[in-house]
Chains A and B, each alone.
Chain A
Amino acid sequence: MDSSMPRYFFDLHDHSSEFDRLGTELDSQRAAQVAAVEFAGEILKNEPSILDSKGLAVDARDEDGTILFTVHIELVDHR
């Protein structure tokens, strides 16, 4: 993999927070967005009981720690 590609870190927040220390090299912010959605989807598929009314978020950080975007998944209770 090309080491000049930026590294993105994907943190998962549900009831607690899990910080990605390893990161993934991806060639653009768009690729990082797709990877974050894919990760959130995998979490939902593999651990569906993780989602409750508190929601779930995947934050993408750059190497400086700046949060670039968030994928937020909600379960909205109507009663």
Chain B
Amino acid sequence: MDHGIGALSDLKCAAVSKDQILEAFNSSPRIARGLWWSSLVDESILRQWLTNLGQRFAYERMAHIFCELWLRMTIVGLADGDEFHLPLTQNQLGDTIGLTPVHVNRTLQRMRSEGLIEFEQRRLKICDIDKLKDIAEFNSDYLHLERR
């Protein structure tokens, strides 16, 4: 493994052995195709994140992660309208988007005062998704959410 994985909330996980994966690939082309698709999407998200971390300013960068998280939570049915559970501390959010905690705080305060978001009790509420998308120049194509 070249990386570690941490969970922010309770989860169920299962171990699938390499042999089982290979067997699934052989017996079901649809599973093979699905995993191939999934890894292409991972690469696409990674490209977007390279841009996000390297080229976007703090305000746009934070708007971008909020748009992405909200959309992904919505697609899998884990958002409650414009709200979702986001158990990240400001430190963790800062680590994720490469900002100091003070700057995260400043950027959150700015977004709050502009009526874009509310972030209380580990819940993020998106108050103005259209404006947030404009700020982030968010285009969801990179998430490949639509069936083709």
Instruction: Enumerate chain A interface residues (CB-CB to B < 8 A).
Output: 1, 10, 12, 18, 20-22, 24, 35, 38-39, 42-43, 46-47
Residues of A within 8 A of B59 (CB): 46
Inter-chain CA distance A43–B99, complex, in Å, is 10
Q: How many residues of B contact A (CB 8 A)?
A: 13
Question: Is A12 in contact with B106, judged by CB distance below 8 angstroms?
Answer: yes
Inside 8 A of B38's CB, which chain A residues have their CB? none
Partner of A42, one of B58, B90, B91, B109: B58
Q: Are B101 and A42 in contact (CB under 8 A)?
A: no
Q: Is B44 an interface residue (CB 8 A)?
A: no
Query: Within 8 Å CB of A10, what residues of B?
Result: 102
Take A12-B106, A18-B106, A22-B105 as given contacts and tell me if A46 and B100 are in contact as well, using a CB distance cutoff of 8 Å. no
Q: Which residues of chain B from 102 to 116 have any CB-CB distance to chain A below 8 Å in the complex?
A: 102-103, 105-106, 109
- CB closest chain-A residue, reference B107: A46
Most A CB within 10 A of own CB, among B90, B99, B100: B100
Q: Could you tell me the dominant secondary structure of chain A's interface residues?
A: mixed
For this complex, 16 residue pairs linking A to B, each with C-beta atoms less than 8 Å apart, are: A12-B106, A18-B109, A20-B106, A24-B100, A35-B102, A38-B100, A39-B100, A39-B102, A39-B103, A42-B58, A42-B100, A42-B103, A43-B103, A46-B59, A46-B103, A47-B58
The residue in chain B whose Cβ has the minimal distance to the Cβ of A39 is B102
Q: Which chain B residues in 56-113 approach chain A with CB under 8 Å?
A: 57-59, 90-91, 99-103, 105-106, 109
Are the C-beta atoms of A20 and B105 separated by less than 8 Å? yes
Residues of A within 8 A of B105 (CB): 20-22
Please measure, in the bound complex, the distance between the C-alpha atom of A35 and the C-alpha atom of B94, giving whole angstroms. Answer: 13
